[in-house]
Chains A and B, each alone.
Chain A
């Protein structure tokens, strides 16, 4: 049984949270189709229960790993914790400033340059211009993209894209960092660097939620792990135990392929 009373206040408290999407099966909702449907009472809507009744806490300064198959609701849960998606039921309480690195996107607009994206993202996240200016060089240096910052991001390779995303997220000096499947970006050297950076961040006084398919990373970096399965929290406990149960469930061996970033 994992002990949860390690720390005073939980930084993140998720209580019985459910998120239900109502996805329309139409391509996009339009006025025309609504008018055409008027009178007929059919509704082309399907409910997707992406997260169902999940509760967990992350104490101050701890690293929580999240594992689960594709479509298990991990990213939805992370978005809810970040305050982007409202929960359908339950309650999320977060103490501190959150920086998100969700699914490699971080809201970059491919038409804009790297510099513009960094500035816009930072301002949207609530940084002041002075704070941004102070961090800008650090971001560029970490991403090693000096000569590309004034080029539109559509000219970036996916590795460069991910590197900038990672650099932005870790340089925001957040109290809480949410990282979603982002460690496997860039070439081998950058992966090494980002893993080192993650170690550094995890070692600091910082709360981290880490979603990864790299089970070795989860075991190494996390103090605790949860396993999401089909929207439900299947297990919560020691990372090694969770990873073992998860790999047993998946029926794969803990070999190099499952344990490391591929």
Chain B
């Protein structure tokens, strides 16, 4: 019988990259004090891919809880932005003494739907890590799956709203041509942008639990600062720089050009929008991954 801890230790093997690489894989795991730093990226990505089904299932479960798979649940989902479009249409009409007509209605609707896609992802993501408490405390998995699931959820909620836009599109007599194919890369960039911001706020909420409350106001200001209630081209020249500084503005401008003005998107808008999307994505992913091993302690 011994009353002392076991002391027969083998010479501690060096914490080299070889071992660190196996963080989540199934065979060998080595856990060591983490510096605030990145996990090895390639194995992390591989592990992420291996568990991608988790993100989809998580999103499916969230949607099921919101009655997404019932007819009325879907109706409610499209009714909300539709009514909001009407409210904003009336508001803008009164404030600007302008009869924008059905074309402006189409612009408002299209832009609001895109805005709601991005902000819905952010709103879902902000509570994804802090709300995932028990799962995080009891299972070792790449946490980045949680904000990813939020983006998937937002995307699935965004798709039916597009269908709602179809009749408006034809009533407004908009031009259906091959230029509409531009929507695919634009939606792609909006998704990348959403994912970046989703990861930032999901990790941020762990450190500042009132981030969610501040976010409500920030997103409201963002709505007014983006070319939604007005066209990007209407912004006076001296304020145009604000549109470049707003990560969402170039993509919304391109979105509006293609969808409700029958134009090919401006190359500058696409370039600036893509730059913003990828910068935010990389920043969000790096921030999240460098912090995620600390989450279990913080929850």
- Listed in ascending order, the chain A residues whose CB lies under 8 Å from chain B are 1-2, 4, 15-16, 21-22, 28-32, 34, 53-57, 79-80, 82-98, 100, 102, 105-109, 111-112, 116, 119-121, 123-126, 128-129, 233-238, 241, 245
Known contacts A80-B31, A112-B65, A116-B61; is A125 also within 8 Å of B210 by CB?
no
> Pick the contact of B141 from A34, A126, A233 — CB < 8 Å?
A126
> Pick the contact of A30 from B1, B15, B208 — CB < 8 Å?
B208
- Whether A83 pairs with B210 at a CB distance below 8 angstroms is no
- Whether A1 pairs with B2 at a CB distance below 8 angstroms is yes
Contacts of A112 in B (CB 8 A): 61, 65
- Whether A238 pairs with B6 at a CB distance below 8 angstroms is no
The answer to the question of B134 belonging to the interface, with a C-beta cut-off of 8 Å to chain A, is yes
User: Which A residue's beta carbon lies closest to that of B135?
Assistant: A107
- Listed in ascending order, the chain B residues whose CB lies under 8 Å from chain A are 1-9, 12, 15, 23-24, 26-34, 47, 50-51, 53-54, 57-58, 61, 64-65, 134-141, 145, 207-211, 214, 293-294, 296-298
Shortest Cβ distance from residue B124 to the other chain A in the assembled complex, whole angstroms: 15
User: Which B residue's beta carbon lies closest to that of A20?
Assistant: B297
- Whether A241 pairs with B1 at a CB distance below 8 angstroms is yes
> Pick the contact of B29 from A57, A93, A109, A245 — CB < 8 Å?
A93
- Whether B58 pairs with A120 at a CB distance below 8 angstroms is yes
- Can you name 23 A-B residue pairings with CB atoms under 8 Å? A4-B8, A21-B297, A79-B137, A84-B296, A85-B296, A86-B294, A87-B33, A90-B33, A92-B31, A95-B27, A97-B27, A98-B140, A106-B139, A108-B134, A116-B61, A120-B57, A120-B58, A123-B57, A124-B51, A124-B54, A236-B5, A237-B2, A245-B3
Known contacts A29-B208, A236-B5; is A128 also within 8 Å of B53 by CB?
yes
- Whether A120 pairs with B6 at a CB distance below 8 angstroms is no
- Whether A105 pairs with B138 at a CB distance below 8 angstroms is yes
Q: Is the interface of A mostly helix, strand, loop or mixed?
A: mixed
Contacts of B50 in A (CB 8 A): 126
- Whether A93 pairs with B61 at a CB distance below 8 angstroms is no
User: Which A residue's beta carbon lies closest to that of B5?
Assistant: A233
Q: How far is the CA of A213 from the CA of B36 in the complex (A)?
A: 36
User: Which A residue's beta carbon lies closest to that of B3?
Assistant: A235
Contacts of A90 in B (CB 8 A): 32-33
- What 9 A-B pairs come out closest when comparing CB atoms? A107-B135, A123-B54, A83-B140, A31-B208, A107-B138, A30-B210, A28-B209, A92-B31, A233-B5
> Pick the contact of A15 from B2, B9, B57, B61 — CB < 8 Å?
B9
